[in-house]
């Protein structure tokens, strides 16, 4: 089975719509892209303001995506189209229960010297509060390409 690894430049943009109150975040990091059979994996580390490091592991399959974070913050958020998933977001100030409903997942894997793109549209309820609309757009390109 073919497996390969490439160094990639990752850009993760999130948009949160809280009843018309918009919030935008962009993270740019270097990371690694792995491909094995029908599974694509992206890994990267985030340096936080307090100098701690959070490791991110994003696993992409045809009909599901998993985002696992570990370090000062831990989370294992799963996305399955037309399904609700639950997880606990743990950080130094306490735990937050998350309910995620995935509306859509669109994914184009990186081909030779191409760009990979993942788009997820979903809603999240934190600790049972009113849901907020989220959109996640992740793009990655081979570094130095």
- Given this model, what pLDDT does residue 2 score? 65
DSSP 108-129: E---TT-EEEEEEEEEEEETT-
**38, containing H or E segment:** none
Q: What is the CATH number of the domain that holds 131?
A: 2.40.128.20
Query: Are 3 and 36 spatial neighbours (Cβ–Cβ below 8 Å)?
Result: yes
Q: Report CA dihedral (34, 53, 131, 66) to the nearest 10 degrees.
A: 20
What range defines the domain where residue 7 resides?
Answer: 3-142
**What pLDDT sits at residue 3?**
76
Give the number of other CB atoms < 10 A from CB of residue 105: 21
Please list the residues that pair with 101 across neighbouring strands.
84, 123
58-76 CB burial, b ≥16 within 10 A, e <16:
bbbeeeebbbbbeeebbbe
CB 98 within 8 A of CB 73: no
Number of domains making up the chain:
1
pLDDT score, position 75: 95
Give the residue from 103, 102, 100 showing the smallest Cα distance to 126.
100
pTM check: above 0.85: yes
- Name the CA dihedral angle for 67, 72, 74, 79, rounded to a multiple of 10 degrees: -30
pLDDT along the chain (145 residues), means of 10: 84 95 95 91 90 94 93 94 95 92 94 84 93 97 81
Question: For residues 32 and 18, what is the distance between their CA atoms, to the nearest angstrom?
Answer: 32
pLDDT of residue 111: 72
């Amino acid at each position: 089975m073919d497996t390969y690894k490439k160094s990639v430049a990752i850009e993760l943009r999130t948009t949160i719509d809280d009843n018309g109150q918009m919030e935008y975040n962009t993270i740019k990091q270097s990371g690694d892209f792995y491909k094995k059979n029908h599974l694509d994996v992206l890994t990267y580390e985030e340096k936080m303001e307090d100098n701690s490091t959070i490791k991110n592991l994003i696993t992409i399959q045809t009909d599901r995506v998993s985002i696992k974070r570990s370090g000062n913050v831990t989370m294992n958020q799963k996305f399955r189209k037309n399904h609700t998933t639950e997880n606990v977001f743990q950080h130094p100030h306490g735990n937050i229960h998350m309910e995620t409903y995935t509306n859509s997942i669109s994914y184009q894997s990186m081909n030779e010297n191409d760009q990979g793109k993942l788009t997820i549209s979903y809603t999240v309820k934190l600790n049972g509060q009113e849901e907020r609309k989220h959109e996640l757009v992740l793009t990655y390109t081979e570094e130095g390409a």
